[in-house]
Chains A and B, each alone.
Chain A
Amino acid sequence: MAYLELSGLTKRYRDSVAVDGLSLSVERGESVALLGPSGCGKTTTLRMLAGLVEPNEGVIALDGAEITRTAAHRRNMGYVFQSYALFPHLDVARNIGFGLEERGVARAEREQRVEDALQLVRLQGLGHRRPRELSGGQQQRVALARALVIRPSVLLLDESLSNLDAKLRDAMRHEIREIQRSLAITTLFVTHDQVEALTMCDRIAVMNRGRIAQIGSATDIYERPATRFVATFVGRANMLPAERGADGRLTLWGEALPAAAPSGGEVDVFVRPQRLKLAPAGEPAGADMARVSGHVLNSVFVGDHIEVIVAGPGGQRLTVEIQSGDAPPPDGAEVAVMWRAQDTLVFPREAA
């Protein structure tokens, strides 16, 4: 049995199901991201773990003991709120020391541990400031220190970086990852930002509509998405309807696809834009390559790459990413688009 086990966790509100039979196992010291669109039940899941929301069904077990109905203040979960939720009437040191005071830790030890925590999040010397005298990034660190100083069984982070500007977010991402690794602290990290999930966690659980759509390593999720939802939510995607030829094999834009088709039903073909290559029109495909032909609609310079939009005979569009150093073909040019057969995924049309 894993260190943290959620099984069949369900939370219903009057007119909606926020979390729908969610099961998840997290090993000790592991960092798992809950990644999903807004409203898919991430926060509700974290709040149930912390004891702030009571599940209608399901079991939460920590280190072999069931804690489903344990009160929040007896769970020893370190929760970093999206809003930080610092105590505005206490200074930074007392914010961080709050959990230690509640645990009756003696003053001398408390002060030492608060000092260590301040150092850990690089806020030395700011202990006497009030929260509102700090910048957003500093407040975020205080919230993190406050949650870490109690040596929590599990660290729960709810979109903790989403209120920071892009630069700071990058820095904090690495910092939190470092701290999480060095303390070997079991962490659940809620985010709707795939880059955060991919870079900060050992495993990613992609959530959709209160359930886990897929769980696995960043590579699993990115290279082998299990569902159409995961494929389109994580990373950029081309998703195009495929036809079936007379022999039952798949064709795209009138050309045969070297991809196995699940039997029956309409299917869509999925391939990531950066896996596509442009070639002169008429160039034959190599072995184990897929190929379609079309003409360039336009090209968009996006900084680190260029997006080339290619339209097929039926007017459907593919996005091809090329390196920004390369010159894109002129608009209107006839081109061939090629990719490795193994980069093609096929999903049933109706399943979302």
Chain B
Amino acid sequence: MTGAGPALSAAAGVVYALILSPIVVVLLLAFSADNFILFPPSGYSLRWFIQLAANGPLLNALLLSAQIAVAVTALSLLIGVPAALALAKGGFRGAEAMKSFFLAPLLLPTLIIGLALLLAFTPLRLTATLPGLALGHMTITLPFVIRMMTTAFAAMPDDIEAAAATLGASPRRVIRRVTLPLAAPGLIACAALSFLLSFDETVISLFLSGPRAATLPVEMVRYVEGRTDPLIAALSMVLIVGTLVIVVLVERLVGVARAFGNERS
């Protein structure tokens, strides 16, 4: 600690408490034994977790959300990484303009994107389908991947790739053997964040979901509209633990990628 006085530490503690307190509330509610949301609960049990395991619509939504997130992540990387490579390394005219263009969706309110997608997808019969929802989420994740990876590629020292070229590696081989391995930590982080962005996405999904197909956040919104029992708290606990697992996994993977030498000494 350098110069942060006790007052500042105390202030930081209060802020943390404020941020974390809703999670504590959810944690306690998830183990409630009551029929309704009552805080603090009058007793504790696992009954809402058991109820959750038998709730068809929510489990289906969870499965759909996971499928969408996997597809969105894979497609965003498949399209976004080559695009970022071209933008960062291609050096063609208009690259700057294209970078701004790809950033634009990130600045647009998701409400507007959702409405526009609904209008565009309805005649194409893409609403309330896995491909439609995945495409919708990619309006968020793809610009994000392109943006992050363009920065990551641009920050890479050019000489290392030039060295590979002088040693006989064709441009394709340079990308495979040098550029991508060096970008591994960025790629892993991008994949994880894409997954979480898609999994968590609510606004666009609300526009594009229907009775046939709803993502987990949409199904959760619908559930709390109709009822007020601690089931949702139990589900939230599951999601929090799942997110933590992903974060720890990414930390580990990025750490491993770094250990393979991407960090400059």
**Is the Cβ of A98 less than 8 Å from the Cβ of B265?**
no
Task: List the B side residues contacting A78 at CB < 8 Å.
Answer: 166
**Is the Cβ of B168 less than 8 Å from the Cβ of A130?**
no
Most B Cβ at <10 Å: residue of A72, A74, A131, A150: A72
Chain B residues bordering chain A, tally (CB within 8 A) = 24
B262 beta carbon closer than 8 Å to chain A? yes
**Is the Cβ of A102 less than 8 Å from the Cβ of B262?**
no
**Is the Cβ of B163 less than 8 Å from the Cβ of A85?**
yes
Give, as a whole number of angstroms, the nearest-CB distance from B155 to chain A. 14
A249 beta carbon closer than 8 Å to chain B? no
A75 beta carbon closer than 8 Å to chain B? yes
Most A Cβ at <10 Å: residue of B165, B173, B260: B165
CA–CA, A88 and B264, complex, Å: 8
Which residues B246-265 have CB closer than 8 A to chain A? 260-265
A81 beta carbon closer than 8 Å to chain B? yes
Which residues B26-46 have CB closer than 8 A to chain A? none
Give, as a whole number of angstroms, the nearest-CB distance from A144 to chain B. 12
**Is the Cβ of B166 less than 8 Å from the Cβ of A72?**
yes
Q: Nearest residue in B to A74 (C-beta to C-beta)?
A: B168
Of B159, B181, B182, the contact of A81 (CB 8 Å cutoff)? B159
Given A87-B178, A88-B264, A150-B168, does the pair A72, B173 have CB atoms closer than 8 Å?
A: no
B170 beta carbon closer than 8 Å to chain A? yes
Give, as a whole number of angstroms, the nearest-CB distance from A71 to chain B. 8
**Is the Cβ of A52 less than 8 Å from the Cβ of B166?**
yes
B169 beta carbon closer than 8 Å to chain A? yes
Task: List the B side residues contacting A189 at CB < 8 Å.
Answer: none
A146 beta carbon closer than 8 Å to chain B? yes
**Is the Cβ of A72 less than 8 Å from the Cβ of B157?**
no
Task: List the B side residues contacting A72 at CB < 8 Å.
Answer: 162, 165-166
**Is the Cβ of A102 less than 8 Å from the Cβ of B168?**
yes
Of A83, A130, A146, A147, the contact of B261 (CB 8 Å cutoff)? A130
Given A89-B182, A98-B164, does the pair A132, B261 have CB atoms closer than 8 Å?
A: yes
Given A88-B261, A130-B261, does the pair A77, B166 have CB atoms closer than 8 Å?
A: yes
B160 beta carbon closer than 8 Å to chain A? yes
**Is the Cβ of B168 less than 8 Å from the Cβ of A103?**
yes
**Is the Cβ of B159 less than 8 Å from the Cβ of A87?**
no
Given A88-B264, A131-B261, does the pair A73, B159 have CB atoms closer than 8 Å?
A: no
Q: Nearest residue in A to B165 (C-beta to C-beta)?
A: A72
Of B165, B167, B171, B182, the contact of A88 (CB 8 Å cutoff)? B182
Given A130-B261, A132-B265, does the pair A102, B167 have CB atoms closer than 8 Å?
A: yes
Task: List the A side residues contacting B173 at CB < 8 Å.
Answer: 73, 102
CA–CA, A89 and B169, complex, Å: 16
CA–CA, A47 and B166, complex, Å: 10
Main secondary structure of the interface of B (DSSP, over half): helix
**Is the Cβ of A73 less than 8 Å from the Cβ of B181?**
no
Contact with B along A203-233 (1 / 0, CB 8 A): 0000000000000000000000000000000
**Is the Cβ of A83 less than 8 Å from the Cβ of B159?**
yes
Give, as a whole number of angstroms, the nearest-CB distance from A192 to chain B. 18
Give, as a whole number of angstroms, the nearest-CB distance from B57 to chain A. 47
A36 beta carbon closer than 8 Å to chain B? no
Q: Nearest residue in A to B259 (C-beta to C-beta)?
A: A130
Contact with B along A110-137 (1 / 0, CB 8 A): 0000000000000000000011100000
CA–CA, A81 and B159, complex, Å: 7
Task: List the B side residues contacting A73 at CB < 8 Å.
Answer: 165-171, 173
Which residues B212-265 have CB closer than 8 A to chain A? 260-265
A99 beta carbon closer than 8 Å to chain B? yes
Give, as a whole number of angstroms, the nearest-CB distance from B93 to chain A. 13
A7 beta carbon closer than 8 Å to chain B? no
CA–CA, A89 and B256, complex, Å: 11
Task: List the B side residues contacting A131 at CB < 8 Å.
Answer: 261
Give, as a whole number of angstroms, the nearest-CB distance from B228 to chain A. 53
Task: List the B side residues contacting A130 at CB < 8 Å.
Answer: 261
Task: List the B side residues contacting A52 at CB < 8 Å.
Answer: 162, 165-166
Give, as a whole number of angstroms, the nearest-CB distance from B11 to chain A. 40
Of B163, B166, B181, B260, the contact of A75 (CB 8 Å cutoff)? B166
Task: List the B side residues contacting A79 at CB < 8 Å.
Answer: 162-163, 166
**Is the Cβ of B166 less than 8 Å from the Cβ of A89?**
no
CA–CA, A307 and B168, complex, Å: 51
**Is the Cβ of B168 less than 8 Å from the Cβ of A89?**
no
8 closest Cβ contacts across the A-B interface? A99-B167, A88-B261, A132-B265, A85-B159, A102-B168, A85-B163, A72-B165, A79-B166
Give me 17 other A-B pairs in contact (C-beta within 8 A), A73-B166, A85-B160 excluded.
A47-B162, A50-B166, A71-B165, A71-B170, A73-B170, A78-B166, A83-B159, A85-B159, A85-B162, A87-B178, A88-B264, A90-B261, A99-B167, A102-B168, A132-B261, A132-B263, A132-B265
Cβ contacts A to B, 28 pairs, < 8 Å: A50-B162, A52-B165, A71-B165, A73-B167, A74-B168, A77-B166, A79-B162, A83-B157, A85-B162, A86-B160, A87-B163, A87-B178, A88-B160, A88-B264, A89-B181, A89-B260, A89-B262, A90-B261, A98-B177, A99-B167, A102-B167, A102-B168, A103-B168, A132-B261, A132-B263, A146-B163, A147-B166, A150-B168
Tell me the B residues contacting A by CB distance below 8 Å.
Answer: 157, 159-160, 162-171, 173, 177-178, 181-182, 260-265
